[in-house]
Amino acid sequence: MNHSVKLALMLTAIMSVVGCQSAPKTLYQWESYQPQVYEYLKGEPKEAQIEALERDLQKISASGRMVPPGYHAHLGMLYLASGKDDQMVQQFSTEKALFPESAPYMDFLLKNAKTGGAK
């Protein structure tokens, strides 16, 4: 696993830990996002993780709540690992739109994906 992918995974994991601080009412709806990050780090099959996150995304949208920071980025990384570049670009773009502070990192991942550095 190259350095860029390790860095991306580490930052995604950190974002999930930072975002799950206990609060009276959460701003975001997490569903199975955190367990899916763990599954990714364990090397579990990507397709099952994609299905779970896509299913949860529908639940979150239906509830009117927001996905947590890193959700679309993680889904984009799964699509990248599965060779689904169009979906990867869409997820990274969605992450940037929802969380503008992620733009430099999403741009970095997109650039490396295009040059083959993130695979």
- How far is residue 44 from each of residues 16, 37, 81, 100, measured CA to CA in Å? 18, 10, 12, 30
- The reply to whether 100 falls in a domain is yes
Categorize the per-residue pLDDT at 117 as very low, low, confident or very high, splitting at 50, 70 and 90: low
- The reply to whether 17 falls in a domain is no
Categorize the per-residue pLDDT at 26 as very low, low, confident or very high, splitting at 50, 70 and 90: low
- The reply to whether 34 falls in a domain is yes
What confidence tens digit (pLDDT) does each residue in 49-86 have? Answer: 999 999 999 999 898 889 999 999 999 999 999 999 99
Categorize the per-residue pLDDT at 12 as very low, low, confident or very high, splitting at 50, 70 and 90: confident
| pLDDT computed for residue 118 by the predictor | 52
The pTM of the full predicted model, rounded to 2 decimals, is 0.68
For the chain, how many structural domains are there in total?
1
30: left (phi over 0), alpha (psi -120 to 50) or beta: alpha
What confidence tens digit (pLDDT) does each residue in 88-116 have? Answer: 999 999 999 999 999 999 999 999 887 76
Domain hosting residue 78, numbered range = 28-115
The CATH number of the domain where 76 resides is what?
A: 1.25.40.10
How far apart are alpha carbons 2 and 4 in whole angstroms?
6
C-alpha neighbours within 13 Å on the C-beta side of residue 51: 5
